[in-house]
Structure 1
Amino acid sequence: MAAAVAGVLRATAEYYGALLYCLATRCNIEGCPLLQHDTAALVHVYSLAKTLQLWAVPHYRAPTFGADMRANLRNVAIPGTGVPLSWFCASWWLALLFMLVVNPIACLLGAVYAAEGGSARGSWLGKVAGRYRGLLLAPSHWFATWRLNCVLVAWHAAVGGSARDYALEDKAPFLLEADRLGLPVAPFVKAPRVFVKHRSIEGGQGIHVFDNFTAGGDWIVSEALDNAPCLARMLPRGAPLSTFRVVTASVVWLEDREAQRQGATALTSAALAAAAVAAGAGPQAAAAPAAPGGKAQGAAGPGGHVPTGGDSGRRHGQLAKLQLSPLPQDIHTPPPWRRSPSPSPGARRIVSRSPSPGIRSLLAGRRSRASRSPPLPVSTSVQQAGGTPRLLNSDDGSGGAGWHSPTGRSGATSSSSSAMYERSIEVLTSVFRAGLAGAKTDHVSICFPVDDAGELGCGVTANHWYNLGWRHVMRIPASASATWEEHPQSGHLVAGQVIPDWWASVASLALQAHALLAPAVPLIGWDVALPAEGEPCLLEMNISANNFNGAYDREGYADLLCSFFAELGRAEEEQRLAGRAG
């Protein structure tokens, strides 16, 4: 019993210590002295502090990050409370109160609820302590990962993201841009205005008029899609279109930052050497290597400083402006995203790359890219023009053994697109959202994870997170902890079933869309449909993505977020210093 109590107190102290330290110091995640032994816990607690620090920062789809949280958490409640989480987003102070008081209490109650009775009181208390630590410091439920994803992309959009990329989360620009690029999307009506008329209504075309988004209106008018036979046979009668959520991760922005930093190192070293020669220090100074911190040793005067008097000082001041970002203390140190002592299967490969030129396949332990992950076709290769990917019309339509492109053509791959697609973007997790009978959409569903071979795992649900009102206080449905091999309404077996041509038809489509539409965005959740007629198509692009309880390497996911948080912190500091200098 004493050990269990000590475990609870230790976890609580670590939580408060790390949270308050990050809030008070606004440190980079690498500068937090606490929880460095547990990356998942460090990322979680740091993200809570960052939520408060981003509270009043403009959001890519709302006036502020806090406003976006209020809008998105109106229908979400901690199971058993019935209280919308948006209540705690009404102000910065209420959000702080939630983190300091409500969250620890809720985690303790959740641990008590989840801990099954042991053979002795001591074993039960041990389970409570273990579950409490997990819920408080490193929760793995769907809401925790959704919140982490939201913090990541909100921070990235504010510091280093492209407004054009993030604008594509709006359904209308996404459909237009994806359609322009030749990506298969859900069919939509392109007429500027449509009328919907009941057959008993008299007069003209009717009274229900919809201005189409294609002409600047608010409505997307599309044809209804039915589930493909391979899906329909697993679902109950009357189930809605049931889609796949494929979450893809990209390290393109991290690579760009690293390349920028390496370029700044080379540029600054050469520039300082030239300044030394111009100042009369002699050719030997130009050949001297740069010391850590970017100072040319041969050009340094007493105390190791570059002379700043007279004309040489003016030249040095001009050359200092050439630095694109603060230089690393040791350019031979492996990149900061290599946190794990040893590589492990799954998403950790996303952030565990060789410091040598070029990056390898993102995920360790996966199938060989050359054998199982087809490259982008020539017809959809990426060319960067002003930061916007565009199509190269170079596919001759001759067919061949290449990958089936969204336009139905095949061909070889171009070097530019395959480099981005194969090395910098990877599938993090995938789920099949099996809809329920009578529902209009698959938002309320049973989520079955999908592996790389297209095989479905056991299903779970997060529907209990949407139970609002006093009737749900202290009541958590049994489905909260249930798993299903069969659909609970149809009785048809789902787990173990294989989606035909999963990788080529669904997963690769999501990877291709990420590479073409927004390669620098860290995480994107794609809603992909397998319709009864036609090819797989994209329905939505979700940047503040929900992983929907999919299976993935959680340690690698934590490493990925830690890498982005560290680099975003550096970028934010650079902007702050630049603003002060300006």
Structure 2
Amino acid sequence: MGQALSLPVKLASTTLTFYRGFFHYLLGSGRNAPYLTSAPAYLQPAADDDDKPIITQSSSSFTISNFQSSRLFMQHARVHLYTLASEFYMYNKPHYRKPSYKQDLMDNLSNVAIPGTGLSLKYFVWNKLLALGYVLGAYPTVSLIASIHLWLKTKFRSSISQEYAVRLLAPDDWFSYWRLNSRIAGLHALLNDVPPGYEMENKWTFLEKGNERDVPISPYLECDGIVVKHRNEEGGMGIHFYKNATVGGDWIIQERIYNGDWVKGHLPENAPLSTFRVITQSRGALDVTKPCTVRDVKALSCVFRAGRANAATDHDSVMFDVDVKTGKVLGGTSNAHWYKLGLWNLLPGRCVWRSDDHAITHHPDGNIAVTGETVPDIRGMLQLVETSHWKMCPDVPLVGWDVVLSSSKELPVCLLEVNLSCNFFRGSFDRQVYLDFCEDMVGKLQEMRLKADREGKKFKKFH
């Protein structure tokens, strides 16, 4: 009874902390002072928390007792609230791949919905006032509903107040990590006038630079182009000409890549090319004017995206976490419920609210065992992406690499593409290493932002 009575107080306290922290970095002293020295007391751990063990799990924090009072939780909350407030600073400013941060935000959220609502998130960010209303109203409401839903799903084993604190102040779901990484990338590129490494997001630049720097890249064809004709059209109808990028065109014509034996052995028939998503971080991005060494780059996570039968790409897949130390494949999960658009998804049974946390052990198309297997030469794969980050874009903070274990004897391991506003695809990682890096990055970016304010810097358009 006492816990039920104290619940509204705990929820109100968390909500107040969220509002105070957000406005501290949006309009208060946190906006106009160095990041570390301006951190408010309510976002600092209690003095006796230094004696508690450091918790480094990167997901499913609801199983950890009193997680919301730990040092790592407070560190995460500071980074989350600072970068969330920074979106309003960047909103109408240039983005490294779009005319404005707003445009990039809307494009990226166009096919994403809060699970069970079916409503694209892009509608909540098409102007600043609406986005602010979403942050102040919808975000806490959705966090509370999610906390109650977890409490019911776990048969009352989880804590509503603790889960609400995680969801609102230090969210550890895939979507929130993706947005956090994207905010850091956007702010870093803006304040550093888009370092050369950001050009790697252009697929053709990535292929050219990779070959120049002896990085194993998915091969492309040297030809003028191709002609494609629909099989049911006659004469000169339905003919399409694709001019290759090798001769100044807009299309990249590549050799087809096939899954290697290990990957193929863990997939059903007619599965697409299935890649590994590896995330790396570069401390060389903290100061792009200084030289970087390969030791400044570290691989954080790895996920095997096991494509579904008859899918066109591995965007439709089961995401199996991989232990980066051993290469052992852990449990699988999905985030497909975040991509179900249409108001009919409001109807009961149309869309799950959350997927099970890495509970899948077998590929659902064929009941093929995946969990417990070991990825061959995981250390070689991680060294490849670390070296590639160093060679190609050491001035970019976080990079998501799509790595292929192919059937080619000449190129058994190669890189397909890079993603600079990347997400972990629910892979596990050392939260301490990641948050230390994020907080160092945010501290540097705030220093640069204050300098830009003093100098009245005008940000140039990148497109």
TM-score of the pair, normalised by structure 2: 0.85
Decide whether aligned partners of structure 1 residues 457 and 116 sit closer, same or farther in structure 2, where only a CA change above 3 A counts.
Answer: same
Count of residues in correspondence between the two structures: 416
Q: Deviations over 1:137-189 (max 9, x none)?
A: 11111000000000001000001254421121011111111122221111211
Give 1:196 deviation, angstroms.
Answer: 2.8
- Give the equivalent residue in structure 2 for 1:500: 376
| Paired residues of 2:35 and 2:447 also in contact (CA < 8 A) | no
Following the alignment from structure 2 to structure 1, what is the Cα–Cα distance between the partners of residues 153 and 418?
A: 43
Give the superposition deviation at 1:8.
Answer: 0.8
CA distance in 2, matches of 1:229, 1:453: 20
Once the two structures are superposed, residues 102-158 of structure 1 have per-residue CA deviations (whole angstroms, 9 ceiling, x without a partner) of 100010111111113788xxx66x711111111111111100000000000100000
Q: Assess, with a 3 A threshold, how the Cα gap between structure 1 residues 198 and 109 changes in structure 2: closer, same or farther.
A: closer
Matched, 1:243 2:275: yes
Structure 2 Cα separation of the partners of residues 206 and 214 of structure 1 = 25
Deviation at 1:453, TM superposition (A): 2.2
Please name the residue that 2:302 is paired with: 430
State which of 484, 487, 490 in structure 1 corresponds to 2:366.
490
**Displacement of 1:98:** 0.6
What's the CA shift for 1:207?
2.8
Amino acid at match of 2:340: N
Contact 1:161 1:521 in 2 (8 A): no
Equivalent positions of 1:319-330 (< 5 A) are: none
Check conservation: 2:196, 2:395, Cα contact below 8 A. Answer: no
Asked whether 1:71 is paired with 2:74, we answer no
% of aligned pairs identical?
A: 34
Q: Is the 8 A contact 1:160 1:568 kept in 2?
A: no
User: Counterparts of 2:244 and 2:388 in 1: how far apart (Å)?
Assistant: 24
The answer to whether structure 1 residue 32 and structure 2 residue 68 are counterparts is no
Alpha-carbon distance in 1 for matches of 2:94, 2:6: 45
User: What is the 5 A alignment of 1:400-411?
Assistant: none
Cα distance between partner residues in 2 of 1:161 and 1:63:
14
Cα drift, residue 520 of structure 1 = 1.4
Q: Which residue of 2 aligns with 1:458?
A: 331
Decide whether aligned partners of structure 1 residues 170 and 255 sit closer, same or farther in structure 2, where only a CA change above 3 A counts.
closer
Deviation at 1:29, TM superposition (A): 3.1
* Aligned mates of 1:21, 1:190 — CA distance in 2: 55
The amino acid across from 2:352 in the alignment is: P
Matched AA of 1:507: L
- Equivalent position amino acid for 2:449 in 1: E
**2:58 is matched with which residue?**
none
2:146 corresponds in structure 1 to 110
Q: Name 2:385's counterpart in structure 1.
A: 510
Show the counterpart of 2:66: none
1:253 positional shift: 2.7
Q: How does 1:187-202 map to 2 (within 5 A)?
A: 187-197=219-229
User: 2:352 is matched with which residue: 477, 501, 507?
Assistant: 477
Shift of 1:526: 0.5
Work out the CA distance in 2 between the residues paired with 1:221 and 1:117.
48
Task: Pick from 120, 123, 127 the counterpart of residue 87 of structure 1.
Answer: 123
Q: CA RMSD in A?
A: 2.4
Shift of the 106–202 alpha-carbon distance from structure 1 to 2, 3 Å rule, reads closer
* Contact in 1 for aligned 2:299/2:382 (Cα 8 Å): yes
Quick one: which amino acid aligns to residue 249 of structure 1? Q
Distance 1:113 1:184 in 2: 46
Give the Cα separation in 2 of the matches to 1:67 and 1:29: 27
Distance across 1 between alignment mates of 2:212 and 2:227: 26
Q: CA deviation at 1:217?
A: 1.5
User: What corresponds to 2:5 in structure 1?
Assistant: 2
Match in the other structure for 1:181: 213
Deviates more, 1:554-563 or 1:71-80: 554-563
Distance 1:470 1:200, change over 3 A: closer
Deviation, structure 1 residue 577: 2.5
Ranges in structure 2 where 5+ consecutive residues have no aligned partner? 46-73, 458-463
Shift of 1:204: 9.3
Q: How far does residue 248 in structure 1 lie from its aligned partner after superposition?
A: 0.4
The 10-residue stretch of structure 1 (92-101 or 215-224) with the greater mean CA deviation from structure 2: 215-224
Once the two structures are TM-superposed, the CA of residue 198 in structure 1 deviates from its matched residue by: 6.2
Letter in 1 for 2:43: L
CA contact (8 A) 2:227 2:239 kept: yes
Cα separation, 2, equivalents of 1:118 and 1:499: 32
Instruction: Give the structure with higher Rg (CA).
Output: 1
Tell me whether 1:446 sits opposite 2:453 in the alignment: no
In the alignment, what sits opposite 1:521?
396
Structure 2 match to 1:60 = 96
Q: Quote the Cα distance in structure 2 between the aligned partners of 1:118 and 1:457.
A: 22
Q: Is 2:414 the counterpart of 1:537?
A: yes
Pick one of 145, 162, 176 that aligns with 1:130: 162
Distance change in 2, residues 1:201/1:17 (3 Å)? closer
Using the TM superposition, give the Cα deviation of residue 35 of structure 1 relative to its aligned residue in structure 2, in angstroms. Answer: 1.1
Q: What is the 5 A alignment of 1:88-487? A: 88-116=124-152, 127-160=159-192, 162-197=194-229, 207-254=239-286, 420-422=293-295, 424-451=296-323, 452-473=325-346, 475=348, 476-477=351-352, 480-481=355-356, 483-487=359-363
Offset at 1:478?
Answer: 7.7
Say if 2:279 and 2:400, in contact at 8 Å, map to a contact too.
yes
The alpha-carbon distance between structure 1 residues 111 and 193, as it changes in their structure 2 partners (threshold 3 A), is same
**Does the residue aligned with 1:155 lie in a helix, a strand or coil?**
helix
Question: Aligned partners of 1:80 and 1:66: how far apart in 2?
Answer: 25
Does the CA-based 8 Å contact 2:113-2:121 persist in structure 1? yes
- Offset of residue 556 of structure 1: 2.8
CA change 1:240–1:574 in 2 (3 A) is same
